[in-house]
Chains A and B, each alone.
Chain A
Amino acid sequence: MKLYITLIFGILFLFTGIVICPLLGFHDERPEFLIILCVYIIVYNNNKQSILLQTWLVGLLKDCMTLDLFGLHSLLFIFLSYTLLKLKQTMHLTNTLVLLVLVFFYTFQYHLLHSMIIYVTCYVDLADTAFTGAIYTTIVAPIVIIILKIFTHEPPEGYLYEA
């Protein structure tokens, strides 16, 4: 997946999350489209440097439109992508069910880490939203992955498998 495609989809998904989701009724917990994009990049990309750079840039996109410390989300994204890269070395991740499970746990971990940071800095517990956020993201994930596959021409199954 090329960098410019990632950036186009990143901006598109960012504004979908901010503008379109509240219009559809997702006010408090919204599906994290950028996380789905990150998982897709990690699973369907073979170049590790490119994966790291692209997930970091997707994190930076999120940082641009939030009041959190600039760089926090890119750090979280890169930390989670590192764990997925390690997992990719031992597992065949292109299976649809495995992909959905990955999206769920990636979102869940991301929400938990973020709520931990908020709890440490301002003593407000938001960990209860992690599960709902992960569920919403997993429900939306198949549609988003299909859209990404159409536009990025996914390589044949097994091509990216590393023994």
Chain B
Amino acid sequence: MKYYQHILLVCLALLSCAFMLYSRYFSSLSLSSFTFLLSSPQISDEKVNKDENVTLLKQQLASKQLEIIHLKQTLKNIQILQKEISLQNTQKSINAKILLRRDSSDHRSSFIINKGKKDGVALKSYVTFKKNLLGIVYKLSTHSSMVLRVSDPYMRIPIFLMIKENDIFTIYDEGICVGQSRQKCKIKFLQWHPEKVLPQTAIVLTSGFGNYPQGLIVGNAIIKKSEEKHYLLDVEPISLSGIYNVLVVVNQDLHK
């Protein structure tokens, strides 16, 4: 290859880098905002000595009391679930149609809707179908927008794992739902509770932290294998195949 061909090669590579830097630093939603979620969970091992029996019993009593509080919260959540999602005055909902259901890259999950900046859609608005969370608006143009799906590897959603015990839904614990591409997610940072047994399936709901409202369904969790002090939880979000219309909820307070 001659020197000017090398120059062309370097120029094109630099141009690509410039595009990347531009989209990285001038995009309103930076990926670095998710990095705090990458820290590893702290799992504390409890060593029980005979002399500490009294302390342990006290701790158990405290945990039972905490369970009562959790059950009260569960009751509240069920009441919330039974009602329709009542949108507050600060939220604006826009009905949108799905234009393209796929991303051009195999490793990413996204879809394109037919509403954009001109229709009032803003970045970080969440997209729902009935009570299911589909994703958040990640890229905006005038008449369309790209939605980052729940199963995208860059997606991190704070969730509650709801399990069914004696026909009653209870919160097992909080965790973070991490997208794994290929229309699947995993739950990470879920605490180990020796006194509770996880059933084979559970429901994953948004916990209310971050930009997501509480109580939206992320998907069904399937517990494949349960080893000692470790859970493997796969989440299957709702498939886009039968969905044509979605609801974009813009939080106006967030974008003022």
Residues of chain A touching chain B, judged by Cβ–Cβ distance below 8 Å, are 14, 17-19, 22, 27-30, 32, 48-49, 52-53, 56, 59, 62-75, 78-79, 82, 85-86, 111, 114-115, 118, 121-124, 126, 129, 133
> Do B100 and A114 touch across chains, with their CB atoms under 8 A apart?
no
> Do A123 and B107 touch across chains, with their CB atoms under 8 A apart?
no
Q: Which residues of A contact B15 (CB under 8 A)?
A: 56, 71, 74
* For the complex of A and B, 8 pairs with smallest distance between CB atoms: A71-B19, A75-B16, A65-B104, A124-B153, A71-B16, A28-B182, A70-B23, A71-B20
- Judge if B108 is at the interface, Cβ distance under 8 Å: yes
> Do A53 and B182 touch across chains, with their CB atoms under 8 A apart?
no
A-B contact pairs, 29 of them (CB 8 A): A19-B100, A19-B102, A27-B182, A29-B106, A49-B4, A56-B16, A63-B19, A64-B104, A67-B110, A69-B24, A70-B19, A71-B15, A71-B17, A71-B20, A72-B20, A73-B105, A74-B15, A75-B17, A78-B12, A78-B13, A114-B107, A118-B107, A118-B153, A122-B34, A122-B38, A126-B180, A126-B181, A129-B107, A129-B182
Q: Which residues of A contact B138 (CB under 8 A)?
A: 67
A67-B16 in contact given A52-B9, A85-B1, A122-B34 (Cβ < 8 Å): no
A-B contact count (CB 8 A): 125
Q: Which residues of B contact A62 (CB under 8 A)?
A: 104-105
- Judge if B122 is at the interface, Cβ distance under 8 Å: no
Q: Which residues of A contact B34 (CB under 8 A)?
A: 122
Residue of B nearest to A30 (CB): B106
- Judge if B183 is at the interface, Cβ distance under 8 Å: yes
> Do B5 and A48 touch across chains, with their CB atoms under 8 A apart?
yes
> Do B178 and A124 touch across chains, with their CB atoms under 8 A apart?
yes
Q: Which residues of A contact B108 (CB under 8 A)?
A: 66-68
Q: Which residues of A contact B9 (CB under 8 A)?
A: 52, 78, 82
> Do B153 and A14 touch across chains, with their CB atoms under 8 A apart?
no
> Do B153 and A126 touch across chains, with their CB atoms under 8 A apart?
yes
Shortest CB-to-CB span from B32 to chain A, Å, is 9
Q: Which residues of A contact B106 (CB under 8 A)?
A: 28-30, 32, 111, 129, 133
Shortest CB-to-CB span from B234 to chain A, Å, is 14
Contacts beyond the supplied A67-B146, A74-B15: 7 A-B pairs with Cβ under 8 Å:
A22-B102, A66-B110, A67-B105, A67-B152, A75-B17, A75-B20, A129-B182
Shortest CB-to-CB span from A124 to chain B, Å, is 4
Indicate which residue in A27, A48, A56, A66 contacts B105 across the interface (CB closer than 8 Å).
A66
Q: Which residues of B contact A30 (CB under 8 A)?
A: 106
